[in-house]
Amino acid sequence: MPFRCAVLDDFQNVARSVADWSVPGEEVEVVSFTEHFGEEDELATALADFDCVVTLRERVAFPASLLDRLPRLRLLIASGMRNSVIDFPAAKANGVTVCGTLSASTPPVELTWALLLGLARGLVQENTALREGGPWQSTVGADLHGRRLGLLGLGKIGGLVARVGLAFGMEVSAWSQNLTEERAREVGVRRAASKEELLSEADFVSVHLALGERTRGLLSAAELALLKPTAYLVNTSRAAIVDQEALLAALREGRIAGAGVDVFDVEPLPAGHPMRTAPRLLATPHLGYVSRANYEQYYGQAVENIRAYLAGSPVRVLG
């Protein structure tokens, strides 16, 4: 019987083409699922006959209730080396080894700037008008040079975003609960005295924090009210860091100039979700990590994990 591996949320159907899934001396059958399973019952049924599951980021939760229904599962591989939606004690209790893969920081950095620049220069509106015979020049772009970029988080991704901002000639400040003066000096930015100061002074705010108890709902209606009416907010991190209803209200009421969002409270975004039609919103379907080089790393290392597991020496073990 072959070692059967399911690849979840392979929306572009590329997992098998960006990596060599062969395992010397072993027969491995790889099945890609291009549609998302939104319900636990669907997952339990679809994955019942698989020894291994490869899941993207934190899109699919693996609680004890699901793991208990997958007696054949032996190996669970998640892209990235951190995952908050896998029940690691339950996985261990069910004899499931959990492994991760490395994830590049540059793709989300690049998408952050794509969103920020798209907002600042009205690229979607202008492109649509040009294609559809609309007005020639209908927006007035927001300048970056000399304006303040406020970063919530100055880790690996936030630091790279900061350096691009500095290259544009922006004044860059940053804040997080753990940010030190030493780290701010290392990157060459100003450490804001408080979250409130950063939000009230910034012309552009970009979120680069990990989701946890301290960051969930960090930007509520009260924090969003501190933003200038000319300010833009970009979130390529996690949707739950920003109060989604408060953000929608701010966009609808024109209390901020716009937002660029790559992450949502429900993914994939349902057809009737208000984020699909919100004004002043530039949105992308969680493309932050979606690049060829990153996929080659994800799936290439997933294969390495399978080979190591079958050889009896698992690597990149999580939990």
Written as tens digits, the pLDDT of the chain (319 aa) is 899 999 999 999 999 999 999 999 999 999 999 999 989 999 999 999 999 999 998 889 999 999 999 999 999 999 999 999 999 999 999 999 999 999 999 999 999 999 999 999 999 999 999 999 999 999 999 999 999 999 999 999 999 999 999 999 999 999 999 999 999 999 999 999 999 999 999 999 999 999 999 999 999 999 999 999 999 999 999 999 999 999 999 999 999 999 999 999 999 999 999 999 999 999 999 999 999 999 999 999 999 999 999 999 999 999 9
pLDDT value for 111: 98
Catalytic one of 147, 148, 191, 286: 286
Quick count: other Cβ atoms within 10 Å of Cβ 136? Answer: 8
d(CA 116, CA 57): 23
pLDDT value for 242: 98
pLDDT value for 57: 86
Smallest Cα–Cα separation from 239: which of 270, 274, 215? Answer: 215
Q: Does 238 qualify as catalytic in the annotation?
A: yes
pLDDT value for 1: 86
pLDDT value for 13: 96
pLDDT value for 271: 94
User: Hey, what are 67's tokens?
Assistant: 């793991």
Q: 74 Cβ partners below 8 Å, 6+ apart? A: 51, 52, 95, 96, 97, 309
User: Hey, what are 33's tokens?
Assistant: 């699922």
User: Hey, what are 196's tokens?
Assistant: 């409130």
Q: Does 267 qualify as catalytic in the annotation?
A: yes
Query: Global pTM?
Result: 0.93
Q: Does 286 qualify as catalytic in the annotation?
A: yes
The DSSP string of the chain is --EEEEETT-TTS-TTTSS---BTTB-EEEEE--S---SHHHHHHHTTT-SEEEE-TTSS-B-HHHHTT-TT--EEEESSS--SSB-HHHHHHTT-EEEE----SHHHHHHHHHHHHHHHTTHHHHHHHHHTT--S----PPP-TTPEEEEE--SHHHHHHHHHHHHTT-EEEEE-TT--HHHHHHHT-EEPS-HHHHHHH-SEEEE----STTTTT-B-HHHHTTS-TT-EEEE-S-GGGB-HHHHHHHHHTTSSSEEEE---SSSSPPTT-GGGT-TTEEE-SS-TT--HHHHHHHHHHHHHHHHHHHTT---SB--
Whether the Cβ atoms of residue 281 and residue 258 lie closer than 8 Å to each other: yes
Catalytic one of 267, 273, 280, 316: 267
